Structure 1
Amino acid sequence: MLWLHRFGSLPYFYRVSRPIAIALAVPGVLLAAYGVYGGLVNAPVDYQQGDAFRILYIHVPSAWLSLFGYTSMAIAGVVALVWRLKLAEIFLVAAAPVGASFTFLALVTGAIWGKPMWGTWWVWDARLTSELILLFLYLGVIALHNAIESPRTAARACALLSVVGVINVPIIHYSVEWWNTLHQGPTVTRFGRPAMEMDMLWPLLCAALGFTLMFGWLTLWNMRAQLLWRERRSRWAKKVFSDA
C-alpha cells in the first residue's frame, strides 16, 4: 500500500506521471498505427461487408474506450465522493475530454460504417442513441466543471454526474441483446470463438490495446495540466513554474 499512499501525494504524482505517460505513449502510438494500418490495408476483404468493414479498426477501439473511459470516471467519482481524494477528482475531470473525443470518433465512424450497411448515416437505433447519450454525459461533465468556480465543488458535482450516468454503460453494452437493433451483436467479446479470422482479429486487438494506452497517455498529460492549475498557489507548483 506504500505506492498507493505515495500516489496520493500530488507533487510525487506530478513527478512520476511524466515518464509513465511517455511509457504509455510510445507503444500506444506504435500499436495503434500497426493495428489501423493492418486493418485498413493488410486485412482480407470481408465476404459479406466488403471493404466497408475496415472502418471497424477505428470504430471498435473508439467505442470500447468510450465505455471504459466513463466507467473509470464513475469509479474515480465514487472515490472522490467517499474518500475526498484530490487525485480522483483530477482524474475524472481530465478523462472527460479524452473520453468525449473517443465517443465522438465512435459515433462518426459508426455513421461511416452504417451508410453502406444500412443505407443511411443515422438511425435512432438503441445502440446508437445510447452512445449519443454517453457523449452528452461526457459533455455535461466538462460543462459542469467549467461552470463552477471552485475546483473542489466542481469536481464533486462532476463525480456525482459520473456516478449517476454510469447506468448508461450497461445499456449501451447490452442494447443489441435487449432490443431489436440494426447494430450487429458482439463479434470479438462473445463467448467461445470470436467471429473473426485471426488475420482480421489480430490487427483489431493491437489497435484496441494501442488506443487504450493512448487514452492513458492523454489522460495523464491532462491530469498534469489540471493538477498544476489547481495547485498553482502551492510552493511545489510555483517551483515547477519557476524551473520551466
Structure 2
Amino acid sequence: MWRWLHPYAKGEASYHLLGRWLPWLTASALLVLLIGIGWGLVFAPPDYQQGDSYRIIFIHVPSAMLSMGTYTGMAIAALVALVWQIRTAEWSIAAIAPVGAVLTFISLLTGAAWGKPMWGTWWEWDARMTSQLILLFLYLGVLALYHAFSDNRTGAKAASILALVGVVNIPIIHFSVYWWNSLHQGATITKFAKPSMPPEMYIPLFVCIFGFMLMTAAFITQRLRHEILRQELHRPWVQQLLVGAKVKEQ
C-alpha cells in the first residue's frame, strides 16, 4: 500500500519532489494571505467591545494554531525517524523546528500586544501563555539537540526523543483554558454550532489560517530542500546540481 512512498525515503527523490511543490505553495500562500489579511484588517467590521484592536487575531490565531500543528507534524516525523530509521524524516525535524519556533514567537508577541489593552498587562503567568512559552523552549531544545552532536544520526535521535516527549504539551496548551482558571478566552472559532464571531469576521480569519498553513508548508519545504543538500553534499547528484548551477551563472 505504501510502496509509492519508498522512493521518497531517498534524498534525491524528495529534493526534486519538493522542488516541484515549492513554487505552487509559495504563490498560493502569498495570494491567500494577501486576501485574508487585507480582508481582516480593512473590510471586517470592528468588534463591539474591543474596537479595532481585535484585528490582531488575523495574525495571532493562525500563528498559535500552526505552532501547535507544526509541532505535531514534527513529532510524527520524529516517530517515523525512530521506528523506521528514515533519514528524510530525521532531516524534516531540522526543517520544521525553526519554522515552528518562529510561529510560536509570533503568537506570544501578538498575544502580549493584544493582552496589554484587553487585560492591562503585557504578560501574565496564565496557563495558556505559560504552556505556549514552554512550546517555544521545546522547539529551541529540539533544534539545539539536533546540532549538538558531531554525529548527525545521534543528534537526530536525541532531537526525535525530545520531540516525542514534548508532544504532551500540545493537549495541555489546547485544554488549559478549561482545566485552569485562565485570563485567556476559550474556544471561539471551533464552536461551529454557535460561533462567537459573525461570518464577516470568522470567514477572513479562516482564510488567514489557510494562508498561514500554506506559508508554513512553503517554508518547511524550502528548509527541507536545504537540509537535504547539506546532508547529501558528498553525493554525486548534489555535485551535479552544483556544477549545473555554476554553469548557469557563467
Find the counterpart in structure 2 of residue 194 from structure 1.
195
| Structure 1 counterpart of 2:155 | 154
Counterparts of residues 141-180 of structure 1 (less than 5 Å): 141-180=142-181
CA distance in 1, matches of 2:5, 2:226: 21
Once the two structures are overlaid, the 10-residue window that deviates more, 143-152 or 123-132, is: 143-152
Consecutive aligned runs of 4 or more in structure 1 exceeding 2 Å deviation: none
Give the distance between the partners of 2:227 and 2:157, measured in 1 at CA. Answer: 15
Partner SS state of residue 196, structure 2: coil
Q: Which moved more, 1:7-16 or 1:178-187?
A: 7-16
CA distance in 2, matches of 1:176, 1:204: 21
Q: Per the alignment, in what secondary structure is the counterpart of residue 147 of structure 1?
A: coil
User: How many Å separate the matches in 2 of 1:15 and 1:61?
Assistant: 29
Equivalent residue, structure 2, for 1:69: 70
What CA distance in whole angstroms lies between the structure 1 residues aligned with 2:227 and 2:152?
Answer: 10
* Structure 1 residue aligned with 2:42: 41
Matched, 1:54 2:55: yes
Residue of structure 1 equivalent to 2:87: 86
Measure, in 2, the Cα distance between the counterparts of 1:233 and 1:9: 14
Fraction of identical pairs, as percent:
50
Deviations 1:89-109 (A, max 9, x none): 111110000000000000000
Q: Distance in 2 between the 1:201 and 1:162 partners?
A: 32
| CA distance in structure 1 between the aligned counterparts of 2:136 and 2:191, rounded to whole angstroms | 25
Which residue matches 2:218? 217
Q: How many aligned positions are there?
A: 244
CA distances 1:71-124 after superposition (whole Å, capped 9, x unpaired): 101111110000001111111110000000000000000001000110010000
Shift of 1:133: 0.3
How far has the Cα of 1:190 moved from its partner?
2.5
Aligned to 2:110: 109
Q: What's 1:237 paired with?
A: 238
Query: Deviations 1:150-208 (Å, cap 9, x if unpaired)?
Result: 21111111110100000000000000010110000000113523211111011100110
| 1:206 counterpart = 2:207 | yes
Match of 1:181 in 2: 182
Moved more, 79-88 or 13-22: 13-22
Q: Secondary structure at the match of 1:106?
A: helix
Distance in 1, Cα, partners of 2:69 & 2:101: 11
Cα separation, 1, equivalents of 2:75 and 2:42: 37
Farther-moved stretch of structure 1 (232-241 vs 55-64) = 232-241
2:140 aligned residue: 139
Letter in 2 for 1:104: F
- Residue ranges of structure 2 left out of the alignment (5+ in a row): 246-250
Matched, 1:18 2:19: yes
Aligned partners of 1:112, 1:61: CA distance in 2, in Å?
15
CA distance in 1 between counterparts of 2:8 and 2:172 reads 33
The CA deviation at 1:241 is 1.5
Residue type at the aligned position of 2:126: D
Shift of 1:146: 2.0
Mapped to 2, the partners of 1:149 and 1:174 lie a distance apart of 39
Q: Residue 199 of structure 1 aligns to a residue in which SS? A: helix
Secondary structure of the equivalent of 1:187? coil
